[in-house]
Amino acid sequence: MAREPSAPEAPVEPYRIKVVEAIALPSRAERERALERAGYNLFNLLSEEVYIDLLTDSGTSAMSDRQWAGMMVGDEAYAGSRNFVHFESTVREITGYPHIVPTHQGRAAEHLLLSQLAGPGDIVPNNMHFDTTRAHVMRVGAKPVDLAIPEAYDTTSRHPFKGNVNIAKLAALLDGPTGRHVPLVLVTVTNNTGGGQPVALGNLREVSKICHAHRVPLYLDMCRWAENAFFVRSRESGQGRRSVREIGREIFDLTDGATMSAKKDGLVNIGGFVATRDPGLAARLKEQLIVYEGFPTYGGLARRDLEAISIGFREATDERYLAHRIGQVRFLAELLDDQGVPFLHPPGGHGIYLDVPRFLPHLPAEQLPGQALVVELYREGGVRTVEVGAIMFEGSDPDSPPPLELVRMAIPRRVYTESHLRYVAEVVGRVWERRASIHGMRMVEAPEHLRHFTARFAPLADGPTAGPVRPTIPRAH
């Protein structure tokens, strides 16, 4: 069939489907009841109440047949498992970091690293802290400071590397009177909080030079390092002929270590690690690991999980996989752009971030427009998303710019197809059309830390009504 000349082109999957999981759209009445029961916090929904789940790309990937086969060769020995040997050698081979300490997920790696390196009165710079990183910096009494470039805070800027660190600000901080209170510098690749935006290799080289001139260790939050390397290859001049593995290796070579959530670019459902070049630190991390996570050859994971990470970590560097993954995000962006829906540009590596102030300009910040939008997307079509803004980052320190007000639609890896993405675009489009009738929310219960996970909300007025929604058959082409 003929395709409209301007219709966005969907990337073709570099895999076929071997196992399926049934999903269904609950009725409008069921969705309404679910929202009420959940206190309008979508973290409180049951997965079965969700049709398309874009809450997170973390731990939601589909594993490959090879990874599942790897699970069957789990050597569940408490110490010295062959799966740990495979895991350690894979991560060493790809990153070059000599000391690899497995953890059950990324935040456990953050807990270990930050409690070893940072303490009360310290300042920890990052391009932008992710919520769990921020929480761990604050937990040890240190202050998180975000030093992304100004373009990172402009949702309309098309800067190709909005994850970049503001070099002048970093240099001023390290040269200034409080410079001696900086125990480490973190750089998050890609910058999740800022829209899944990449950091340029050139920027990281400068960060590395400044840190090392000041004898301050540089650590990566490397959750989405392969997606970042893919963007470097496609956007940074002089990088187009290098492989993702080569670019990744240069990124690692510029740094002293990293924390990793394997739930992202490890293509697994659970796992992580902390890596370092410092043997003394590695020994201390392992001591602490035994108290909090487990013996250093399993780190709170089943050994079969380490096998799945060893395989997934390599698969995440497959360039056909990455081209499809980043292509899916771009495809959804094009479908939304065609309808005039405002979102953060350019589209990032792992999702689309709707631009809340431009989506719901009639709702002031205190009416929690981000949460209102998250609720409407679920109400309209059973699509689950998450607010990334004032609710998630409340209590952020006054020296960092105020957070962007975004609603993140994270795309799980290897899970959804073109028609799912078309359906999502259609649901967002319908909410966009009736945006003027959307009411605000208020928070009725809020815990002290990481409150977005457990807060409860209430609508400020009766929610708008719309007709029943059924998934539509995507246009053939």
Ligand X SMILES: *Cc1c(COP(=O)(O)O)cnc(C)c1O
Residues making contact with ligand X (CB under 6 A): 58, 105-107, 130, 132-133, 188, 192, 221, 223, 261, 263-264, 272
What values do phi and psi take at 304, rounded to 5?
A: -65, -30
Closest distance of CB 223 from ligand X, Å = 4
Question: Nearer Cβ to ligand X, position 8 or 196?
Answer: 196
Question: Nearer Cβ to ligand X, position 81 or 261?
Answer: 261
Angle in degrees, 0-180, between the axes of helices 418-433 and 319-338, rounded to the nearest 10: 30
Residue keyed to tokens 């009360």: 120
Residue nearest to ligand X (CB): 106
Q: Could you tell me the two tokens for 197?
A: 């935006």
**Contact by Cβ (8 Å): 237, 280:** no
Distances (CA, A) of 139 to 226, 399, 419: 29, 18, 43
Closest distance of CB 153 from ligand X, Å = 18
Q: How far is it, in rounded angstroms, from Cα 433 to Cα 341?
A: 9
Question: Nearer Cβ to ligand X, position 130 or 359?
Answer: 130
Angle at 229 (CA atoms; ends 226, 231), nearest 5 degrees? 115
Question: Nearer Cβ to ligand X, position 26 or 195?
Answer: 195
Q: How far is it, in rounded angstroms, from Cα 97 to Cα 277?
A: 6
Closest distance of CB 271 from ligand X, Å = 8
386 Cβ contact partners less than 8 Å away, ≥ 6 residues apart: 42, 43, 55, 56, 374, 392, 407, 408, 410, 452
Closest distance of CB 299 from ligand X, Å = 13
The amino acid at 335:
L
Please choose, from the candidates 155, 168, 246, the residue with its C-alpha nearest in 3D space to the C-alpha of residue 196.
155
Q: Could you tell me the two tokens for 14?
A: 């570099």
Question: Nearer Cβ to ligand X, position 132 or 197?
Answer: 132
Indicate the DSSP class of residue 257.
Answer: E
Closest distance of CB 408 from ligand X, Å = 11
Q: How far is it, in rounded angstroms, from Cα 249 to Cα 246?
A: 5
**Contact by Cβ (8 Å): 393, 134:** yes
What values do phi and psi take at 216, rounded to 5?
A: -110, 125
Question: Nearer Cβ to ligand X, position 194 or 217?
Answer: 194
Closest distance of CB 132 from ligand X, Å = 5
Closest distance of CB 366 from ligand X, Å = 28
Cis peptide before 346 (omega within 30 of 0): yes
Closest distance of CB 193 from ligand X, Å = 7
Closest distance of CB 147 from ligand X, Å = 15
Question: Nearer Cβ to ligand X, position 107 or 452?
Answer: 107
- Start-end of H helices in 225-355: 225-235, 244-253, 279-292, 303-315, 319-338
Question: Nearer Cβ to ligand X, position 105 or 208?
Answer: 105
The amino acid at 27:
S
Closest distance of CB 163 from ligand X, Å = 10
Question: Nearer Cβ to ligand X, position 146 or 380?
Answer: 146
Question: Nearer Cβ to ligand X, position 67 or 188?
Answer: 188
Q: How far is it, in rounded angstroms, from Cα 386 to Cα 409?
A: 7
